Each structure stands twice: as structure tokens, then as C-alpha cells.
Amino acid sequence: MKVLPKGDVANISRYVTLIVVSIIVLFPIYVMIATSYKARVQTFSMPPVWLFTPTLKHYEAVIVKGHFVRYLLNSIVVATSTVFISIIVGGFAAYGLVRFAFLGKRVVSTATLLLRMVPPAVMIIPLYILWTKLGIMNTRTGLILAYVALSLSFTIWILRSFMMEIPVEIEESALIDGCSELDIFFRIILPLIKPGIAVASIFVFRIAWNEFIISLILTNRYTRTLPVAISMCMTELGVQWGEITAIAVIVALPAFIFTFFSARSIIRGLTAGAVKG
Amino acid sequence: MNVKRFLTRFTPYLFLAPAIFIFGFALFYPVFYGITLSFFQWGMRDMYAKAPLFVGLKNYIEISQSPYFLTSLRVTSIFIGVTMVAELSIGMALALLAERKTRGLHIFRTIFILPIMIAPVVVGVIWRYLYNPTYGLINYFLGIVGIKQIMWLSQSHTALASIIITDIWQWTPFVFLILLGGLQTVPNEVIEASVMDRANYFQRLIHIKLPIMKPIIGITVVLRLIDAMRGLVVMFIMTFGGPGLSTEVLSLHIYKTAFVGQRLGRASTISVFLILYMLIVAFGVLRIFRTERR
């Protein structure tokens, strides 16, 4: 009988561990997707039904019923506007910080960390009062403003790390050619940091698309976003698992898309704060 | 010429102005306003009728003696303590496994990104379904092994554990990805030198890799701690803080005090406590993991 060499045994157990962990990671997500395609009875059945004919009934019900389409549009409008404003404003700020060395790097990194610490739960009380006074309560504008504030420090951090890699000479020669600072920013810097903009956009979109508690407080039944809409379904009489998981799948859809198409950017974004310190 | 000079000098500030405006208007001012409010008594219903009533330190004294607050503080501490230790050790072990030449590493990494990207609301929904005592899959699998039905979310001694497990599921991948990135920054020459010196795997890990990784581990812990203390959505969806107060972390306690109990001043005071607690923990951790620069 042949005995496997020691190295192979270690290697195989290594892969087995990684595969088992991956299954644990994927399983709950699989359950969510599967449940959204099951018939109502099957979502409650015990033992669980593993093989079933998928039905689109829950998705149809969700789209027809209530204000789902409105909430979906709200989510899309709020998330994309937040991304757009955050990138422009954050890009300006990042450029200011990188090219004009008037603030210490330490101050910026400490401030970014501090800003990242502000808990949404702490924000909701003052925002509730101030937005009411300003008359932007229950508007998408108010929500977008709060989200830009929440995501801006992250955007600045990411874009700054990409801008620092651009050699100063490029800009210097542009200055000599008579470009203004604004020209340089839009025509040279922004095109050069496209990958950075992609990373920042994904993460800002994630913040605005996934956020729950601020949206719960600052919106009403016309302006609310999808995560809040899900929570409203949960509290209604008798949990309709099929419909709730259908909305959940739709909410998770951008996450799936980003993950499969830009895993590399996401890893860069995740590690930007930690490794680049 | 003078105008141009003036502009050049102030260009950095012009670039920073919009960001400073938004930070000031929608972040600093609200936080400052919240801190001020913590010295006032103000109910939600008084919002239009009455001005806030200045009560000095009354809120602070009452809250530091309130059993609800102290329980919530304890729940928060257990939650962040357990999740941090678990996520760091599992994440580190997995990172060390994946660090060596692994085929299809990018597939594993892609899979591990998923839970991080998914909305906490969605995570709460999925796990609430999984934990259901009668048709949830967790009890089903435990049943196969012969363990009786557990009422995961409706018993105070299992509810927090359930939330912790959910958090470990969602965030260990994050720790894994960052630590894996960190391990790849360990210079090859150092490892090769240690191989020449016949250091074994564990010696290499403890004397070389971990010290080099120290600052990265520190930042990972701080980022995770901050997010763990900010989070409330998973609890909101799965248990709403219950049963009793067993899963009511401070963030959720603030929300409930303000928008269920309708006491805005008091909730602001708890907010100040939460921010102080976060600052202490974050800077404590950074201090522990600080590397001396020689």
C-alpha cells in the first residue's frame, strides 16, 4: 500500500479546511436565494425541501404589492447621488491634501479614523432634530447629505492613497504648459486614478445602499429605502419568508455583482485602511 | 499678479472647502449638537412645544446608575470581546493556511468577500430564518446529530450567543482578507534567512511573522472594534434587543431610548458614553499594538 508523503497530507487537509469554511460562508446566502424561489409551504417545511421547482411567485408579489418599485427607485437615486457627490467632493479634498503639503499626514490619518468612528446611532438624534428644523426631513436630499458626510472620510482616504502614486512631474509639466489647478484635476488626475474611483465608488455605494438606521429615521413611507422596507415587512403579521427573502436577494444583488466582477478592487478597498496606514 | 499669488496660496483650501463644509454641516455640528443635548431634558413630544430644559449633569448621574445602561454596557463588552477574540484567531488561522501557495486562492477570496458586502439587514433576515426553532436549518442540522430543539433567539442565554455567531460569520472573512494581505507583506528574504537558520514553522511564526504583522493586526482589531460598536442592525432585525435586554448593545439602546422611549436628552447622554467608550477602547488597542521605532 502506498502511503502519501507527509507534505501531500498537509496540503490536502489545508484545501479541505478552506473548502469547508467556504461552504459555511456560502450556505446562509444559498438558503436565502433558495427560499425566495420556494413555494410558500416549502419555506416552512420540516425537514427542509432541498429539491424543488423554482417559482417566481414571491418576486411577482413583491413587485406588484405595496410601494416596492418606489423604494427600489429611492435606493437607486440615493445611492448613486451619494457616490457622485462623495467622489467629486472627496476627490477635491484628497487632491488638496496630497499636492499641498500643509497638513501633516498624521493629522489626516487620525482625523479619518476618528470620523470613521462616529456611530450612526449617535447621528440619528441630532440629524432628526436638525433636518426637521431645516425642512429636509423625509426628503431624499436630506438622506443623501447624511450619507455623503458618513462616507466622505473613506472616499478621501482611498482617493488620496491612489493620488500619492502619481508622480509630481506630470503635474509640473502641465502647470508649465499653462493648465490651471482645476484643469489638472479634471484632465490629468481623475483619469489617472480611475481604479481608485472604482474602489471608492463600490464602497460608498455599499454604505448608502446598505444603510438602515439613518434611513429609518430620516425618511417616511414615500422616501424610504429598501433596507427599511424589509424591516417593515418583518414586523407585519406573520412573516412571509418567501417575499422577505425575495426583497433581501434584490438588496443583495449589487453586492453579488460587485463581488464577482471586481473582487480585486474590493480587496484593495478593504486593505487600504489597514495595510497602507 | 498679486491676485494670482493669493489664489495659489489659498488653492489647497479651495479644494478642501466643500469637504469641510459637508463635514461641518452634517457631521461635526450634529455631533456637537448631540453632546450639548446631553445636558438637557427633552422629550420627543416637546419638540415643537417646549425648548429643551437645561438639567446640567442630571442625565449623566442618572444614567451611570441606571441598571438598563449598565446591562447594555455589559452586553456590548461581551459582544465585542468575544467576537474580536474569535474573529482574530479564526481569521489568523485561515490566513496562515491560505498564505502558502494555494491554487484557486482568488476563488476563496471572492467567496470570502460576499458576507462583507451584503447589507446587515439582509444578514439579519437570513439568520433569523436559520435560527427559527421549528423550521430553521440550524436546529434541523443539530437534530440530525441528536441535539434537541434550541430556542435560539427567544432565550436570554442563547440570544447573545446567536448574535455573536452571526457576527463571526459575517466578519471573520474581513479579518482573514486583511491579515492575508498583511502576511504577504512579510519580506521573502527574512523568511528565507530563517529557513537557513533552521527555525521551525512555529518559531518563524512567533519570532518573525507576528512581530512584522503587529501594526496590521492592531489596525484590523481597531477597525473591527469600531464597526462592532457602531453596529445595531443585526440585533434590530433578529431580536430588537431582547429577550429582556440580553442583546441590547449600546447603539441599539440609544435608538430605543430616543425613538421608543422618546427621551432625546437622555439618549444623547448615552451617545456621549458610547463615544467615550469607543475612544478608550480604540486608543487602548492602538497603544498595545504600537511598535517601537528604533
B263 phi and psi, to 5 degrees? -110, 100
Spatial CA neighbour of A88 closest among A9, A170, A155, A178? A155
CB B162 within 8 A of CB B238: yes
Cβ-nearest to B219 among A15, A132, A277: A277
In CATH, the number for domain B21-288 is: 1.10.3720.10
| Residue B125 sits at the chain A interface (C-beta within 8 Å) | yes
Contacts of B174 in chain A (CB under 8 A): 270
- Whether residue B272 is predicted with pLDDT greater than 50 in this model: the reply is yes
Q: What is the pLDDT of residue A84?
A: 96
| Residue B152 sits at the chain A interface (C-beta within 8 Å) | no
CA distance B252 to chain A (A): 7
Spatial CA neighbour of A243 closest among A85, A28, A63, A114? A63
Q: What is the pLDDT of residue A276?
A: 45
A-contacting residues in B 210-249 (Cβ below 8 Å): 215-216, 219-220, 222-223, 226, 229-230, 232-233, 236-237
Q: Locate the chain B residue with the closest alpha carbon to A24.
A: B169
pLDDT level of residue B1 (50, 70, 90 thresholds): very low
Cβ-nearest to B254 among A122, A209, A275: A122
- List, in sequence order, every residue forming a beta bridge with B40; answer none if it has no partner: B54
Could you report the per-residue pLDDT of B73-111, keeping only the tens digit for each? 999 999 999 999 999 999 999 999 888 777 888 898 899
In CATH, the number for domain A58-275 is: 1.10.3720.10
Query: How many whole angstroms from its chain centre is CA A261?
Result: 14
Contacts of B14 in chain A (CB under 8 A): 96
Between residues B199 and B150, which one has the greater pLDDT?
B150
Q: What is the pLDDT of residue A277?
A: 39
Spatial CA neighbour of A239 closest among A58, A53, A60, A50? A58
Determine whether the interchain pair B119/A209 forms a contact, defined as Cβ–Cβ distance below 8 Å. yes
Q: Omega of the bond prior to B243 within 30 degrees of 0, cis?
A: yes
Cβ-nearest to B11 among A100, A259, A275: A100
- List, in sequence order, every residue forming a beta bridge with B41; answer none if it has no partner: B53
Q: Omega of the bond prior to B173 within 30 degrees of 0, cis?
A: no
B8 phi and psi, to 5 degrees? -60, -40
Q: What is the pLDDT of residue A109?
A: 65
Q: What is the pLDDT of residue B164?
A: 97
CA distance A128 to chain B (A): 10
| Residue A39 sits at the chain B interface (C-beta within 8 Å) | no
| Residue A277 sits at the chain B interface (C-beta within 8 Å) | yes
Q: Classify residue A176 as exposed, middle or buried by CB count within 10 Å of its CB (0-12, 13-18, 19+).
A: exposed
B-contacting residues in A 91-150 (Cβ below 8 Å): 92-93, 95-97, 99-100, 102, 113, 115-130, 132, 145-146, 148-150
Interface test with A, best of B22, B37, B111, B122 (most A CBs within 10 A): B122
CA dihedral A58, A61, A66, A68 (to 10 degrees): 60
pLDDT level of residue B248 (50, 70, 90 thresholds): very high
| Residue A81 sits at the chain B interface (C-beta within 8 Å) | no
Residues 6+ apart with CB under 8 A from A18: B94, B97, B98, B102, B108
Mean pLDDT by 10 residues, chain A (277 residues): 67 89 95 91 81 87 86 96 96 85 64 78 90 91 93 89 86 82 86 92 94 94 92 74 92 92 84 55
Percent of chain B with pLDDT over 70: 95
Q: What is the pLDDT of residue B294?
A: 44
Listed by start position, the domains of chain B span 21-288
Q: Locate the chain B residue with the closest alpha carbon to A214.
A: B255
Q: What is the pLDDT of residue B134?
A: 87
> Helix B67-99 crosses helix B250-259 at what angle (to 10 degrees)?
140
B-contacting residues in A 40-79 (Cβ below 8 Å): 43-48
Contacts of A127 in chain B (CB under 8 A): 26, 30
Could you report the per-residue pLDDT of B7-57, keeping only the tens digit for each? 566 777 788 888 888 888 888 889 899 999 999 988 777 777 677 888 889
Could you report the per-residue pLDDT of B221-235, keeping only the tens digit for each? 988 999 999 999 999
Interface test with B, best of A36, A157, A213 (most B CBs within 10 A): A213
Q: Locate the chain A residue with the closest alpha carbon to B104.
A: A15
Cβ-nearest to B108 among A22, A145, A241: A22
Q: Which three cell numbers stand for residue B292?
A: 517601537
Q: B132 by DSSP, 3-state: which?
A: coil
Q: What is the pLDDT of residue B14?
A: 82
Contacts of B242 in chain A (CB under 8 A): none
